[in-house]
Amino acid sequence: MRSGKVLLIGRPNVGKSTFLNNLIGQKVAITSPKPQTTRFPIRALYQDERGEIVFVDTPGIFGRAKDLLSKKINEKTLQTINENVDLIIYMVDHTRKRDFEEAKVLGIVRKLIKPKILVINKIDRTGKTFLPQYEFLKEEFPVSFEISALHSTHVKPLLTKMFEYMPETPSSKVEEHSYPLLNMDSKNFISELIREKVFLLMGEEIPYTSTVVVDQIKERTKNLTYIKARILTTNDRYKRMLIGAAGRKIKEIGAYARKEIALATSKKIYLDLTVETDPHWQEIYYS
């Protein structure tokens, strides 16, 4: 039996969370087309007859972290990178030009003295490509794969190769883990699902000025769960936008979030969702 840990690293929006969700077979990390979707490292467990792999999905590394939250995200990512792992997956997106941000991530990866695999993601995309800018990396990395995390193209052979790097471990010494989430409690997981809907349903500016806090989860009946949550934002102007005319926007966010929480928990959900202005939420919840 093989058992080990794999670190996923790359710049924002290369598809690490999509890769992990599809590999695990259920949502463990939220996704959206916008940077800063993943704000803290997520650990999830994959198991099959060959053994188990603990995947560590790091937030994307920002080239220039200008705001406090981006700086905190970078700090948490760099702390996670220093963990003891057995393999590093460096994921790149061929549809985006190599730039300062990519160079920064590559510089960090080069300093890590661990086995590494280069993964070029989004091969399902048929539009503009900058693949020639990444070809030189295939000479630097001993193993490389071109995959589509979204459609799971070439993910099985990649997983087989990852298991080859995992240490042989007697079954008696394999730690027992909860499946599939290792480091998020119910409140954090639900707050992430709600925050994902804010990212998907709001404009460019709002997601980066907001977060979600779950205050209460209560089983009211055998099949009904009550959840009280707040969207926090930095300015009353953003609060009004999140609520929307006649409360339509907050109702839309709540409806989408409630459906996904119900799907994840197999229970009926009553979601009591409100919006508050708190200009200091970054310091309070991401310190």
CATH of the domain at 125: 3.40.50.300
The last residue of a domain, from among 173, 207, 237: 173
Same domain, 167 and 48: yes
Q: Are residues 58 and 159 in the same domain?
A: yes
Whether residue 107 is contained in a domain is answered as yes
* Band of pLDDT at residue 205, cut at 50, 70 and 90: confident
List of residues 6+ apart from 234 with CB closer than 8 A: 209, 210, 277, 278, 279, 281
**pLDDT tens per residue, range 128-151:** 999 999 999 999 999 999 999 999
pLDDT at 126: 87
Count of structural domains within the chain: 2
Does residue 94 sit in the same domain as residue 213? no
246: left (phi over 0), alpha (psi -120 to 50) or beta: left
Query: Are both 62 and 142 inside the same structural domain?
Result: yes
In a domain, 64, yes or no: yes
Give residue 209's pLDDT: 87
Could you tell me if 87 and 44 are in contact, meaning their C-beta atoms sit under 8 angstroms apart?
no
Pick the residue with more confidence: 171 or 39? 39
Give domain status of residue 179, yes or no.
no
The stretch 52-76 carries a mean pLDDT of: 73
Q: What is the pLDDT of residue 176?
A: 62
Q: What is the pTM assigned to this prediction?
A: 0.81
Q: Cα–Cα distance between 149 and 129 in angstroms, integer? A: 17
Picking from 115, 144, 173, the residue at the C-terminal end of a domain is 173
Cα–Cα dist 25/153, whole Å? 14
Average pLDDT across the chain, whole number: 87
pLDDT category of residue 157 using cuts at 50, 70 and 90: very high
Nearest to 8 by CA among 85, 76, 72: 85
Q: Is the pLDDT of residue 152 over 60?
A: yes
User: Is cis: bond before 180, omega within 30 of 0?
Assistant: yes
- In terms of domains, do 167 and 201 share one? no
Q: Which residue has the higher pLDDT, 11 or 35?
A: 11
Domain that holds residue 191: 186-285
> Is the domain of 163 the same as that of 81?
yes
Residue 262, domain CATH: 3.30.300.20
Q: Supply the pLDDT for residue 63.
A: 60
**153 and 254 co-located in one domain:** no
Among 173, 199, 217, the domain boundary falls at 173
Same domain, 108 and 215: no
The stretches of the chain forming alpha helices (DSSP H) are: 16-24, 68-81, 100-111, 137-140, 155-165, 186-201, 236-243, 248-265, 281-285
As a whole number of angstroms, the distance between CA 21 and CA 89 comes to 15
Query: With contact defined as beta carbons under 8 Å apart, do 4 and 166 qualify?
Result: yes
